[in-house]
C-alpha cells in the first residue's frame, strides 16, 4: 500500500484481507460512536446509571418486594443503562455488575462465579471453535462467495438469502445459539463484500445482522419444537388448561405470524429503519461480482481440510437435529453443548484434526459479557424481583367485564415485551403462562384462547443484546449499537403484537381458537 493510495483502494484492501482471512476476529473494542446523540448518550450514561441504581436501592421497599430483590433490581438497572449507552465496553459493565451483586448481598459468591460454568457459556465457547474451523479451512468463504454469486447482484436479495437460510434451519435445529454461530462466518464475509466491517459500519451490515437475529429468534416460534420453552408452554396448557396442543395446531397459528413478520422486517429494515445507501446496495469490492467470481474460482475444488470440516460439522448438526432420539439410541441425551464438545475434540485432535488451539478465535470478552448478563438475570429470578414485577403488572389490571379482544391484546403485549425484563425464555414461560391460564379461567374464557397466542411470543427475544444467546453472539461483531438493536427489535415486537391481535380477531377465530373479539364473558 503506497502513501498515495486512495480511500477507496484502502477500503478495498481491507475487504480483501477480510475475505482472505484465516481467522474470524471479533474485536473487544468499544464500537465508535456514530453520531452526536450517541456521544451524548455515553457522556450521560455513566452518571445516569449510578443515579438510577441509587434511586431504586433506597426507595421504600414495595409490598412483597424483598430487600435482596430491590438490590438486584438496582444492580441490573445500572448495568442495563450502561449496556445501552455504552460509556464502557460491555464486558466491563458485566464485571461491575457481578461485583455489585456481591457487595449488595444480592447473590452468593459461588452463584456469581458459577455462571461461567453454565451450559450457554460452554456452548458459546465450543461453537466458536467450530466457527473458527469453518473460517480457517476457507469453507465459510466458499459458502459466502457462492451465496453472493447466486443472490448478490443487489443487497436486498443477499438479505433475502439469509432469511431463507434461517427459515430452513429453524425447524431442524432448535438451539438458537447453534444457528447463530453456524451462520455467523457467512454473515461476516457477506457483510465485508458489501463494505460493512468493524472499522466501517454501514446500514447493510446493520440490516444483515439484525435481520438474522430476527430470523433466528422469531422463526423459532414456527413450531412447538423451536425451543424447549415452547414445549414447556405446551405442557402447561395441557396440565393447567386441559387442552392438548398438537404439532400442526402450533404450526397453523405460529408459522404465518413468524414468517410474515420476518418478511416485513426484511422490507422495512432496508427501506425505513436503516435505509441502505445506493453505493452500499452493490458489492463494494473493486470489480464487483466479477472479482467475487474470480475469488470463488481460485478456491478450486473442495480440499481435504474442507471435507474434514464438512464431516465434523455435519456430525454436530446431526446430533443437534436428533437430540430427541438420543436416549433410545445411546442411553443418554447428548445436549447441544456436548455435541459441540465432541466436534471441538475432533477439530483439535492432533494430526487428524483441522487446526490447533492457538488458531481458534475465542471471544473471551463475549463470554464475560454473557456471564454478567446471566448473573444479573439469575439474580432477578432468584430474588423474585422479575416475578414480582410481572405479578404487580397483571395484578393492577381489572379485566373483568371487558370484551375478550381487550384482555387478549393486553396479555399479548405484556408477554411480547416481557423479554426486556428477564433474559430467560424458560423463566418467562414458567411465570407468565400459569398466570395467563389462571386469569383466563377467572375471566370465563377458554385458557387456550389466551395461552397459545401468548406462547407464540416466547421466542421473540430481539429487543436488547442481553435478551438471548444469539443476541450476545451477533452483537459481538460491532456491526450495530445497543440503540440500533432496541429500535429494530421493538419495531419487530410491535409488528408481532399487531399481527397477533389482527389474527386473534380473524384467522385464529376462524380456526376456532379465539371467541369473538367483542364478546363479553357471562
* Cell numbers that stand for 44 in this block: 450521560
Nearest Cα to 180, choosing from 215, 206, 228, 221?
Answer: 215
In the predicted model, what is the mean pLDDT of the chain?
82
pLDDT at 1: 45
Residue 152 placed within a domain? no
Mean per-residue pLDDT, 506-511: 94
Q: Does residue 76 lie within any of the structural domains?
A: yes
> What is the pLDDT, as a whole number, of residue 325?
81
Flag whether pLDDT at 455 surpasses 90. Answer: yes
- In this predicted structure, what is the pLDDT of residue 205? 93
Q: What is the pLDDT of residue 399?
A: 65
In a domain, 418, yes or no: no
What phi and psi values does residue 393 have, to the nearest 5 degrees?
-65, -50
According to DSSP, residue 448 is labeled H
- C-alpha cell at position 41: 448518550
CA torsion through residues 432, 434, 440, 446, sign: positive
Place of cell 404487580: 392
Calculated CA dihedral for residues 428, 434, 439, 445, nearest 10 degrees? 110
Of 269, 164, 273, nearest to 215 by C-alpha is: 164
User: Range with the lowest mean pLDDT among 153-162, 278-287, 464-473, 509-518?
Assistant: 278-287
Is 4 inside any structural domain?
no
22 — pLDDT class (breaks 50, 70, 90): very low
pLDDT > 60? residue 26: no
Q: Which of 133-142, 457-466, 485-494 has the lowest mean pLDDT?
A: 133-142
> What average pLDDT does this structure show over 35-42?
71
More confident residue, 324 or 378: 378
Residues 371 and 360: their CA atoms lie apart, in Å, by 20
Between 389 and 343, the higher pLDDT residue: 343
Least confident segment among 142-146, 185-189, 302-306, 477-481:
142-146
Q: According to the model, what pLDDT value does residue 21 have? A: 46
pLDDT of residue 221: 94
Higher pLDDT, 419 or 426: 419
Percentage of the chain surpassing pLDDT 70?
Answer: 84
pLDDT for 290: 67
**174-178, 336-340, 490-494: range with highest mean pLDDT:** 490-494
Higher pLDDT, 59 or 258: 258
- What pLDDT is attached to residue 52? 92
* The pLDDT of residue 493 is above 90: yes
Average pLDDT estimate for 189-193 = 81
> What b/e sequence results for 135-147 when a residue is b if at least 16 CB atoms lie within 10 Å of its CB, and e otherwise?
bbbbbbbbbbbeb
The whole-angstrom separation of Cα 250 and Cα 338 is 29
Output helix, strand, coil percentages for the chain, rounded to the nearest 5.
Answer: 70, 0, 30
Q: What is the pLDDT of residue 275?
A: 95
Contact 276, 475 (CB under 8 A): no
184 or 22: which leads in pLDDT: 184
Tell me what pLDDT residue 475 has: 87
Q: How many residues does the chain have?
A: 522
pLDDT of 498 higher than 80: yes
Please state the pTM of the whole predicted model: 0.70
What is the distance between the alpha carbons of residues 277 and 14, in angstroms, rounded to a whole number?
20
pLDDT of the residue at 497: 97
Among residues 189, 193, 211, 220, which one has the least CA distance to residue 267?
211
Of 39-48, 77-86, 147-156, 211-220, minimum mean pLDDT range: 147-156
**Does some domain include residue 42?**
yes
The larger pLDDT score, comparing residue 286 to residue 187, is at: 187
Q: Which residue has the higher pLDDT, 389 or 43?
A: 43
Mean pLDDT of 424-432: 76
pLDDT digits (tens, 9 = 90+) for 306-337: 899 889 988 887 887 676 688 889 888 887 77
Q: What's the structural domain count of the chain?
A: 1
Neighbours of 163 (CB within 10 A): 19
pLDDT at res. 345: 94
In a domain, 304, yes or no: no
- Report, as an integer, the average pLDDT of 435-458: 89
Name the residue range of residue 41's domain.
Answer: 36-115
Residue 68 in any domain: the answer is: yes
**Among 102-106, 171-175, 398-402, which range has the highest average pLDDT?**
102-106
Percent of the chain with pLDDT over 90: 28
- Predicted confidence (pLDDT) at residue 74 exceeds the cutoff of 60: yes
In this prediction, residue 2 carries a pLDDT of: 47
Which pLDDT does position 423 carry in this prediction? Answer: 64
As a whole number, mean pLDDT of residues 238-257 equals 87
Q: Write down the pLDDT at residue 64.
A: 66
Higher pLDDT, 410 or 223: 410
Q: Is there a domain that residue 484 lies in?
A: no
Question: Is the pLDDT reported for residue 127 higher than 80?
Answer: no
Amino acid at each position: 500500500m503506497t502513501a498515495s493510495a486512495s480511500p477507496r483502494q484502502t477500503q478495498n484492501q481491507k475487504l480483501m484481507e477480510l475475505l482472505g482471512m484465516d481467522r474470524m476476529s471479533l474485536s473487544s473494542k468499544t464500537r465508535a460512536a456514530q453520531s452526536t446523540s450517541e456521544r451524548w448518550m455515553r457522556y450521560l450514561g455513566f452518571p445516569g446509571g449510578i443515579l438510577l441504581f441509587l434511586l431504586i436501592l433506597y426507595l421504600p421497599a414495595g409490598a412483597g418486594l424483598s430487600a435482596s430483590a430491590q438490590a438486584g433490581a438496582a444492580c441490573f438497572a445500572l448495568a442495563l443503562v450502561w449496556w445501552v449507552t455504552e460509556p464502557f465496553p460491555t464486558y466491563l459493565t458485566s464485571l461491575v455488575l457481578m461485583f455489585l451483586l456481591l457487595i449488595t448481598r444480592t447473590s452468593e459468591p459461588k452463584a456469581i462465579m458459577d455462571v461461567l460454568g453454565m451450559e450457554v457459556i460452554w456452548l458459546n465457547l465450543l461453537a466458536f471453535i467450530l466457527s473458527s474451523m469453518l473460517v480457517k479451512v476457507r469453507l465459510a468463504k466458499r459458502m459466502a462467495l457462492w451465496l453472493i454469486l447466486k443472490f448478490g447482484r443487489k443487497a436486498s436479495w443477499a438479505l433475502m438469502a439469509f432469511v431463507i437460510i434461517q427459515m430452513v434451519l429453524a425447524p431442524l435445529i432448535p438451539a438458537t445459539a447453534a444457528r447463530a454461530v453456524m451462520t455467523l462466518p457467512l454473515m461476516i464475509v457477506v457483510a465485508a463484500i458489501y463494505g460493512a466491517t468493524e472499522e466501517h459500519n454501514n446500514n447493510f451490515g446493520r440490516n444483515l445482522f439484525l435481520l438474522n437475529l430476527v430470523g433466528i429468534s422469531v422463526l423459532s416460534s414456527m413450531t412447538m419444537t423451536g425451543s424447549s420453552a415452547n414445549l414447556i408452554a405446551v405442557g402447561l396448557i395441557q396440565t393447567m388448561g386441559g387442552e392438548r396442543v398438537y404439532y400442526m395446531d402450533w404450526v397453523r397459528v405460529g408459522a404465518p405470524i413468524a414468517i410474515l413478520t420476518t418478511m416485513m422486517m426484511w422490507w422495512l429494515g432496508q427501506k425505513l429503519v436503516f435505509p441502505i445507501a445506493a453505493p452500499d446496495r452493490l458489492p463494494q469490492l473493486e470489480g464487483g461480482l466479477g472479482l467475487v467470481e474470480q475469488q470463488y474460482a481460485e478456491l478450486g475444488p473442495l480440499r481435504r481440510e474442507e471435507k474434514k470440516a464438512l464431516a465434523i460439522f455435519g456430525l454436530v448438526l446431526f446430533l443437534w437435529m436428533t437430540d430427541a432420539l438420543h436416549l433410545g439410541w445411546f442411553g443418554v441425551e447428548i445436549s447441544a453443548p456436548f455435541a459441540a464438545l465432541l466436534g471441538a475434540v475432533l477439530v483439535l485432535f492432533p494430526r487428524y484434526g483441522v487446526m490447533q488451539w492457538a488458531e481458534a478465535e475465542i471471544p473471551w470478552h463475549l463470554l464475560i459479557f454473557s456471564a454478567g448478563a446471566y448473573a444479573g438475570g439469575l439474580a432477578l429470578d432468584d430474588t423474585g424481583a422479575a416475578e414480582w414485577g410481572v405479578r404487580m403488572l397483571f395484578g393492577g389490571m381489572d379485566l373483568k367485564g371487558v370484551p375478550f379482544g381487550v384482555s387478549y391484546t393486553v396479555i399479548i403485549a405484556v408477554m411480547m415485551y416481557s423479554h426486556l425484563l428477564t433474559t430467560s425464555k424458560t423463566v418467562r414461560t414458567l411465570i407468565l403462562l400459569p398466570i395467563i391460564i389462571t386469569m383466563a379461567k377467572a375471566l370465563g374464557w377458554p385458557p387456550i384462547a389466551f395461552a397459545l397466542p401468548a406462547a407464540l411470543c416466547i421466542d421473540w427475544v430481539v429487543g436488547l443484546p442481553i435478551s438471548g444467546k444469539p443476541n450476545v453472539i451477533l452483537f459481538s461483531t460491532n456491526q450495530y449499537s445497543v440503540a440500533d438493536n432496541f429500535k429494530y427489535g421493538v419495531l419487530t415486537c410491535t409488528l408481532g403484537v399487531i399481527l397477533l391481535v389482527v389474527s386473534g380477531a380473524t384467522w385464529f377465530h376462524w380456526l376456532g381458537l379465539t371467541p369473538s373479539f367483542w364478546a363479553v364473558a357471562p
